[in-house]
Amino acid sequence: MASAKLIHSPIGPLTLVEEGGALREVRFGEILTGEMLCDTPVLLQAARELEEYFEGRRQIFSVPLAPRGTPFQLKCWNALRLIPYGETRTYGQQAEAIGQPKASRAVGMGNHRNPLPIFIPCHRVVGKNGTLTGYAGGLEMKETLLTLERMNRHDPAQDQDCLHNGPCHGK
């Protein structure tokens, strides 16, 4: 049975869903669909990592992830995880990254079905001319996440120091 934790974040309430020792889903809002509310080690880790992310102290997530999707969707989501913190790519660039340069629309649909927003950063994908396009949480939320990352971008090697010594301000 899946477990869930409701958290409050700067972008609003989020529902974290864990099953089998890995984070399976992040939902915008307080939405339960039969999961048991509890604090599992994975849910506590995911909540802590999100808090660090929103504070600008985490660029890379380490919580185990287990998104469910088609082989094509999984390929799209794996490519999303390769986009560095604070950077963006176009749907065309993502399509090229998965070896299907003519599949930018299919990539967009794959991203739309991403069950783990923020952890799998579909907010880092933009339109061909750099414009913000679709995001499950809305374009305002997408812009908020991108702005947060641009403001807090630093060398990921500093993450460990930031976690132990307070905010990192190097860009």
**What end-to-end distance do the CA atoms of the chain give, in Å?**
42
Is 76 one of the catalytic residues?
A: no
Q: Which amino acid is at 115?
A: P
Burial pattern 31-66, b for ≥16 Cβ within 10 A else e, equals eeeebeeeebebbebbbebbebbbebbbbebebebe
Name the catalytic one among 38, 122, 162, 168: 122
For the chain, the residue count is 171
Which residues does the annotation mark as catalytic?
122
